[in-house]
């Protein structure tokens, strides 16, 4: 049988808040489940890529942007059709030449 917590046991206030707040517990459960699903998906992709002979991911960074401090490289938009890649603040769609004049060591 479990012993009730006595005054000698210390329970942090953050733990007490989490115990008494059902929304906090539910959010934590969903966050953990989402991370587990993401991790399983990445593991499956890694296994499939290795079976197909791909040992590493191909770099999505343009050649002239590799190692640049200004590189951003995040796609913005709500669907695949409308998504736009923002390469950097200086050249939003990327530099078209071989050597970018604004390149800076990261």
What is the per-residue pLDDT across 17-30, written as a single tens digit (0 to 9) for each? 656 777 888 888 88
Name the residue ranges covered by the structural domains of the chain: 13-52, 59-106
Q: For the chain, which residues score pLDDT lower than 70?
A: 1-19, 54-59
The predicted structure's pLDDT at residue 12: 65
The predicted structure's pLDDT at residue 57: 56
The predicted structure's pLDDT at residue 56: 61
pTM of the model: 0.41
Q: Where does residue 64 rank: exposed (0-12), middle (13-18), buried (19+ CB within 10 A)?
A: middle
The predicted structure's pLDDT at residue 46: 82
């Amino acid at each position: 049988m479990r012993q009730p917590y006595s005054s000698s046991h210390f329970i942090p206030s953050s733990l007490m808040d989490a115990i008494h707040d059902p929304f906090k517990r539910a959010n934590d459960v969903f966050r953990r489940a989402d991370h587990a699903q993401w991790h399983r998906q990445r593991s499956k992709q890694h296994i499939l890529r290795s079976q197909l002979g791909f040992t590493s991911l191909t770099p999505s960074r343009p050649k002239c942007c590799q190692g640049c401090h200004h590189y951003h490289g995040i796609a913005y938009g709500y669907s695949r059709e409308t998504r736009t890649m923002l390469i950097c603040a200086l050249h939003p769609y990327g530099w078209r030449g071989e050597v970018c004049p604004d390149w800076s060591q990261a």
